[in-house]
Amino acid sequence: MTEKKFSLVGLIQHFFPEIKDHRVFTCSKNRSMFIFDGLDECRLPLDFNSHPECCDVTKPASVDVLLTNLIRGNLLPSALLWITTRPAAANRIPCKCVDQVTEIKGFNDPQKEEYFRKRISDENLASKTITHLKSSRSLYIMCHIPVFCWISATVVERTSEESESLEMPRTLTQWYTHFLIIQTNMKRDKFTDRKERDEDVIFNPGKLAFQQLEKGNLIFYEDDLKECGIDVTEASVYSGVCTQIFREEPGLYQGKVFCFVHLSIQEFLAALYVFLSLNNRQINMPDQPQTSQLSALFRAATLNDLHKTAVELALQSKNGHLDLFLRFLLGLSLQSNQNLLKHLLLKSSNQSDSSEQTVQYVKQKIRDQSSSERRINLFYCLNELNHHAVVDVIDKSSGTLYVDTLLPGEWKTQRFEFKMPEEQLDEFDLQKYIKTPEKDQTELLSPDDILQKLVPVVTTSTSAQ
């Protein structure tokens, strides 16, 4: 409807012709309720600053102008509005237009365990999975997303069927890489008559995922699929990836509408597409518009250059829409993940050098960041690189060790300062060296919790109290 103009009454009557009299909306006895389900999927600009004011329900205007004025309260000020959206798009609506916000966070901790015990039939395997996920705070937090629980359970069950010695993935990227391979193998077993190469099966959906992530689109149409070389008539079963990762929905006057089952899957495929583009540049270099913000990723000469560019772009993002994409992209540089994807890679990257350079670069960015949200995501990036998420800085002139660490429970960073003598400590006594005010110590962490974070200090001491 983007190219047409309607009055608000005309637009409503277009979809609900049974409403004959528009006075039903303006009558003081009646109240209307509009439900906008999925604001994050709306491709209209919704520019609240420059759109003209419209107060007449019979005056024609573009659909986005009607929507902004309805949300502002200029049109039908007595109407109720209920808007659902993912958090990343919530700031599209000015705060002054919102009376109440409700956040749905998915599974709580008991529900996480309940899901795995119901989903995984082997009781011992279910318990082992729960224990393993709890051992990584960043993974256990992700379990509040039901789709991630589904991905994890799928990987555990299929892997346990194929091998008795089950080694569970330790990073988010590893979980999604295993899941992708399982889906691709399922496709190969189910559709043996099809001739797609694995490169196309993964590369084409990856290209779609990247292009739509760059545009901020979570739903897409047939033309979007065709542009990426995906057969629209077979999209719902196109590769093992799309069999379960694509969801097909009926669109209003648009034919078929497609989306990934979850945004995290789109972000993983987008990251994999960028990684493969660098690795397989001579055969798969994508034709990216050089004016796009993310086109800089495809100009990177080395893996380390790619990482630095991606970090900078993620930090520049206003709504954090590249945070998970960045975690996946960095995680794909690990040799363990490259081993899983070796049939797709033309060459092996110099993983150890690139990872170490990236770790140091990310640590420096953590030190430079004032935003706690940005710092936390960078800590998670270090986890994806299998690096302990502690940043330590030694000021040699004053002999002070600064330790930035992620506080359990509160998920914000805290800096601790310790005076360090030049020689090795015979004994480290926490109470003697910590300079944080005593009040903060008791409110933030117990001594046991702090000790857990003080590996750099303890390793320089003969004993520790």
Would the pLDDT of 284 be above 60?
no
Up-side HSE of residue 181: CA atoms within 13 Å toward CB?
18
- Say which residue, 121 or 391, is predicted with more confidence: 121
Separation of alpha carbons 408 and 306, rounded Å: 31
Percentage of residues of the chain with pLDDT beyond 70: 69
Indicate if the pLDDT at residue 155 is higher than 90: yes
Share of the chain above pLDDT 90, in %: 26
The pTM score is 0.72
Report the pLDDT value the prediction gives residue 455, as an integer from 0 to 100. 61
- The model's confidence at residue 269, banded by pLDDT at 50, 70 and 90, is very high
pLDDT tens digits, 1-57: 777 899 999 988 888 888 888 777 777 778 889 999 888 777 788 889 888 999 999
* Element housing 186 (H / E): helix 172-190
Segment holding 310, helix H or strand E:
helix 303-316
DSSP code of residue 301? S
Give residues with Cβ within 8 angstroms of 26, minimum separation 6: 57, 76
What pLDDT does residue 243 have? 45
Inform me whether the pLDDT recorded for 227 exceeds 50: yes
Confidence of residue 81 (pLDDT cuts 50, 70, 90): very high
Check if the beta carbon of residue 196 is closer than 8 Å to that of residue 239. Answer: yes
Residue 367 has φ and ψ, to the nearest 5°, of -65, -30
Mean pLDDT score across all residues of the chain: 78
pLDDT digits (tens, 9 = 90+) for 320-357: 789 999 999 999 988 888 888 887 776 665 555 678 88
Cα–Cα nearest to 175, from 198, 201, 155 = 155
What DSSP line would sit under 312-367, residue for residue? HHHHH-SS-TTHHHHHHHHHTTSHHHHHHTGGG-SS---HHHHHHHHHHHHHHHHH
Predicted local confidence at residue 429, as pLDDT: 65
Exposed, middle or buried: residue 212 (CB in 10 Å: 0-12, 13-18, 19+)? buried
The number of beta carbons lying within 10 Å of the beta carbon of residue 204 is: 23
Return the number of other C-beta atoms located less than 10 Å from residue 298's C-beta: 18
Tell me the mean pLDDT in the region 171-176. Answer: 93
- Choose from 239-243, 304-308, 413-417 the range with maximum mean pLDDT: 304-308
Residue range 378-425, pLDDT digits in tens: 888 888 888 754 555 555 555 555 555 544 444 445 555 555 544 445
From the number of C-beta atoms within 10 Å of its C-beta (0-12, 13-18, 19+), residue 436 rates as: middle
Note the pLDDT of residue 427: 63
Q: Which of 296, 294, 303, 295 is closest to 276 using CA atoms?
A: 303
Distance (Å, whole) CA 284 – CA 43: 29
